[in-house]
Structure 1
Amino acid sequence: MQTFQYGSLPASSRVLKRAITLSLSVHAAVLLAFLVHAFIKPKPPVKRNLYMFEMVDTKPQYKVKLPAFVSKPVEQPKEKKKAVKPEQKKAKALSVRKATQQDKMKETPKEEIQSEEKPHEEAVENEAAVESGINIVKPGFPFNYYEAQIFNAINRNWRQVPEELLGAEEKLIVLVTFDIQKDGHVENVTISESSWNSILDGLALRAVEKAKIPPIPGDDPMLTVACRLVLTRK
């Protein structure tokens, strides 16, 4: 006959109790390990410096200086002067004389041509003077330079006239007559030949009236002057 004691457990329940206790202890150990790992900082990895080495030949090197090579200049054979015969010398002298004579013959026509060209150039200058110039109405007036002084004084004002006044024309001419007193004062300025352009005629009168003409040289108390003013396209 079996007897039951209070507090006694069967063998299977004790084994189960041990297993549960072991499982709880394992879980507690794992949890504790995670907590410790979370609070402890891991050590940084150690950096290692890498060094590169290049193998160099350490054998001693010797430099040898070689003597400089200087090339000697090659001597060229000298040409022998040919002996000149006396007949050849005479021929050369004659040719030189002929050349000098020909040069003299060439130079003389040039001088003649230049002398012929000078009158032609003077004629062209005279034509330009007739184109636009001054004429003192007194025969035998000895002071020719005074005409140039009168024209230059008038031309300083006339050259400021604009070319637009020509319109469709290539050239317009105005002939102005006036009197010059002994002190250079201008009087009686009139249009002798009109350009058929009233504005241009007025500018021609003004160019004469505003001109600063020097006094008359000599003993003449007054001179009558005809001034031809031309406006052309440049």
Structure 2
Amino acid sequence: MKRFLTTMTLVTLAMFSCVTLAADMDLWFSPGWKSKGKKAKIISKVLSEQAGISIKPCIAKSYPQILKEFDSGKASLVYVGSFVSAIIRARELGEGLVQGITGKEMYSGVLVYPKDGDPASILSNDPDKIAYAVGASSGESSAKAATGGKAAVKTKNHAATVGAVKAGKAKAGVVKNWWWESKSSRYPGMAMYRIPEISIEQNPDNVLSASKGVPAADRAKIKSAAKASQAAFGAKEMRDFDPALLDFTLSLMKKGQIDSKSYSW
């Protein structure tokens, strides 16, 4: 049994290693996909079969790892949300091919705060006490944009953001609207506030992008393959991606004094 488990562990690691296996290109997923390895493998397998291109799934250890690969000139793909997609566009490292349409493919950042608090006053009087998930349009970008870059309580994810508010480490926090919609019942002492000009569902999620190292012919094949494989992505449709959809995301960064060309986690 011990030998079997060791073998399975090695197989799992090899499946997502982007060093040991040869392929025409790598398909990167965010660090948060480490619990969704099976889905990442299915997506890559289906794209490979449909496009006739060997595509290998890679779960990134960090977002900078993805950007480094895109900046290397290698042929790479990434399936990720608006924050990284916006940086890829700003740095001209690649282009968005398609977007998974799920009914929640566009999202925003909303403010969560103790029910006895005044959200407008918190934003005005304690901007540095706002918590947010680092590297997220629905966290860092929205929080920084709402406070002129002053939000300063960094967290690793939305749950940690709410946790910081509950623990008194922050006066309020900014989280993804869809996340809050599904989790709000767990936090009966918290309320939600839509921040004017910020809490607008205009940040695109589920974007499949290709690096500049991917030849035009291959990009076309991958786009066609993705549009024929919506089920693998868990989407109703895979739609051509319009780069203008990232304009709002980039505007949040600008308002929040986040430099999309030099930002690093």
TM superposition score normalised by structure 1 = 0.27
Larger Rg belongs to: 1
Higher relative contact order, chain-length normalized (CA < 8 Å, sep 6+): 2
Higher strand proportion, which one?
Answer: 2
Please, what TM-score do these two structures have when normalized by structure 2? 0.25
